[in-house]
Structure formats: structure tokens, C-alpha cells
Amino acid sequence: DVKVTQSSRYLVKRTGEKVFLECVQDMDHENMFWYRQDPGLGLRLIYFSYDVKMKEKGDIPEGYSVSREKKERFSLILESASTNQTSMYLCAGPGPGELFFGEGSRLTVL
Amino acid sequence: AQSVAQPEDQVNVAEGNPLTVKCTYSVSGNPYLFWYVQYPNRGLQFLLKYITGDNLVKGSYGFEAEFNKSQTSFHLKKPSALVSDSALYFCAVRPVNNNDMRFGAGTRLTVKP
């Protein structure tokens, strides 16, 4: 199975701060994904990447950007955090059909 | 685009009773279907998937799901619920020809002793 590691489990940031969420996968896969999870809304795709330096917008990319400089690492960036970005962020890498998820990063923006 | 509906926000069952968590989907073409479980403040754990073949799929922790193409459903089942099964369950679908996976809103399962 793919192992997906998110470096920060809990973060508290102030409005306007720049926030980096880091994700690393161990299987040399091309595809990686960032989702946002909110109660009652399930998981919504923010961005995905299908190779180094390649990215595609998901359903809710506004207010976010991503970086994929190395195949194993996919970073989600909040250029100027806002309170409505308080959420659980989940990174995923592909398996044989399914996705494997990291433990999640719970971000609170004050 | 594909979509998933989980019609129940909450399912409550007594320990030892059978449980069902419902899922219906919409997708163009053939689907890949998945169930995930999430414990508090954790990521999603993969439970089982339907890719092709037998409509009854068995997965982790005694869970199973039945693919019903005519009803576009993929309900999650377990013959005898445990208190430790209490968690948030997500159904997901993607077309066979791309990685665009869509999730339902989730169903919170509570198993009472």
C-alpha cells in the first residue's frame, strides 16, 4: 500500500498568514491529490497533480495553490489564510484503483 | 460528472445487530466504487472496493458491500455490528477511465452496547 504522510496534524494560524501543508508519498506515483473535508459536505477536491510541476484545479481551488517540485512531495499553499479556510485537509496518493490518504491536517484560522 | 448520495446522515444500531449504510451513485460508463471509514481526527482508511466481477465485495473488519447496477447502489453491510465500528463512513465513485473520485457527504454510524 501507498504510505502518505502529512507533516502537520494540527495547525493554528492567523488571518492573512501564508500557510504550507506538506504531503509525502513513498511509492513514486505520478498522481497526488489534496482534498478538503467539511461536515455535511464530504470531501471536495482542491487540486491534483499528475506529475512533477504539473497541476490541475479541482472543484474548489480558489484561495489555494500547490507545488510539486519532486515526485514524492505535494504541497498545498494558502497564500493569505482566511477564517473560512478552517477545515480538515487530506492528501491522497493512488493505489490499485483506490486512493490512500494521509492522517489529515486540521487547520484553524483565527 | 459523477456523484454520490448517502441518504442517511446518521445510522444507529445495537451491538450484535446487522448494519447497513446506504450509497447510491451516478456516473457515465462503468464505475469503480469504494467505501472508506474515518475515526475521529484521523484520515480516511480504505475498507473495500468494487472494480469488476462478483457483485458482492468483502473487505476489512468483516464489512461487505453489494454492487447493484440496476439500482445504482453500493450499500455497505456487516452481519453483526461492534461498538468499535462506530465511525464516519464515506462512499466514493470514479469512472474507470480517470482518477476523478467523488465522495458522498458521509454517514455517521453509532453502535450502542
The cell numbers describing A38, all together, are 467539511
Q: How many Å apart are CA A71 and CA B20, to the nearest integer?
A: 40
Residue A54: pLDDT over 80: yes
Residues of A in contact with B105 (CB under 8 A): 40-42
Of B4, B35, B44, which to mutate for an interface test with A (greatest number of A Cβ within 10 Å)? Answer: B44
Specify the higher pLDDT residue, B28 or A18: A18
pLDDT band at A49 (very low <50, low <70, confident <90, very high): very high
The cell numbers describing B67, all together, are 454492487
Of A48, A99, A100, which to mutate for an interface test with B (greatest number of B Cβ within 10 Å)? Answer: A99
- The confidence score (pLDDT) of residue A65 equals 97
pLDDT tens-digit map of B80-93: 999 999 999 999 99
* One-letter identity of residue B103: F
- Measure Cα distances from B10 to A98, B23, B89 in Å: 25, 13, 10
Q: Is B63 on the interface with A (CB under 8 A)?
A: no
Do the Cβ atoms of A98 and B99 come within 8 Å?
A: no
Specify the higher pLDDT residue, A27 or B111: B111
Backbone angles phi, psi at B94, to 5 degrees: -145, 150
pLDDT tens-digit map of B60-113: 999 999 999 999 999 999 999 999 999 999 999 998 887 788 999 999 999 999
- The confidence score (pLDDT) of residue B57 equals 96
- Measure Cα distances from B71 to A19, A44, A55, A77, B24 in Å: 44, 25, 36, 41, 8
- The confidence score (pLDDT) of residue A55 equals 92
Do the Cβ atoms of A42 and B105 come within 8 Å?
A: yes
Do the Cβ atoms of A99 and B105 come within 8 Å?
A: no
Mean pLDDT of A68-90: 96
pLDDT band at B14 (very low <50, low <70, confident <90, very high): very high
Q: How many Å apart are CA B54 and CA A36, to the nearest integer?
A: 33
